[in-house]
Structure 1
């Protein structure tokens, strides 16, 4: 079970990022305050998510270099691919902050 979480961690971070940006934008709409502060919070949250995805990919690459068994190697490759896809998704979701500003 733990390996499944490790393998799909990037996708879970991407989902949490989507939810987090949605909540931030909803709070910004209700607060009707300074949009710049809410955008800065969104940029910071996106940066944290990207760093977490990068750390997950780096850990997968480190373990993959130790020549694991074939099943585990496949899962690590899936983890790296999901992390790269998730990174692209996080960047794409963050573009809304830039365009909407």
Structure 2
């Protein structure tokens, strides 16, 4: 029986199972840490501390393993880029349209 895939590596995209997200575990494909901010569903670049959880402890290196108690594996890791200016402009216009 094949283990259930619950996420993918933030660096190479390899399939990861629940057992792959241990504190000391690394991706079997590329060797990068799996229990890190970049693999968390709460990671969002541009937010305070690049995290949707306001009470999360600051983490300097988002690609290294950490002890964050809010870690929750992301099905698909987010891209490490802020929203484009075109996305920001369209969101701003939509918000302004609500108040006209």
> Which band: TM-score by shorter chain?
under 0.3
Relative to total residues, which structure has the larger helix share, 1 or 2?
Answer: 1
**TM-score of the superposition, structure 2-length normalised?**
0.23
Q: Which has the higher contact order (CA 8 A, sep 6+)?
A: 1
Relative to total residues, which structure has the larger strand share, 1 or 2?
Answer: 2
**TM-score of the superposition, structure 1-length normalised?**
0.23
